[in-house]
Amino acid sequence: MQTTLIIIKPDAVQRGLTGELLSRYERKGLQIVAAKFIQVSEEIASKHYAEHKEKPFFGELIGFITAAPVMVAAVRGPEAIAICRKINGATNGVEADPGTIRGDYAVSKQLNLVHASDSPESAERELALWFNGEIIDWSRQNERWITG
């Protein structure tokens, strides 16, 4: 089982898509093991986007993610990282396939609604940053009907 980070970004929150987007991960069979609605601080944003610090768009990233509240969630399941990234679709909404979150709701690269960790290493780092010991290990009674 993998656990990964999902961020429902400010644009999705402002558009009232939070519930719809979270439900897509659950409907796929993934389990939400932590979630919180927060106003992101510049400190957390800078740590989250640290790999982009020297890039010219770093300031825009920080400004965007701190502009309005976000919903962060820890999502668990077999191959959760790959599954979440497929559910999200291509980063640029124009290029994202219909049926994906971005393909259905995004029309730009900058306002792309969601974030998902891109590797096990990123997931571990990001989950520690956003959920310091807050992830709940719990079992669903129907798990065998989802994952086999």
Angle at which helices 18-28 and 80-88 cross, to 10°: 130
33 DSSP 8-state letter: E
Q: Which of 105, 76, 96, 129 is nearest to 13 (CA)?
A: 105
DSSP 3-state assignment of 93? coil
Residue 115 is a catalytic residue:
yes
Q: Write down the catalytic residue from 25, 40, 115, 123.
A: 115
Through-space distance between the first and last CA atoms of the chain, rounded to whole angstroms: 13
Catalytic sites, residue numbers: 115
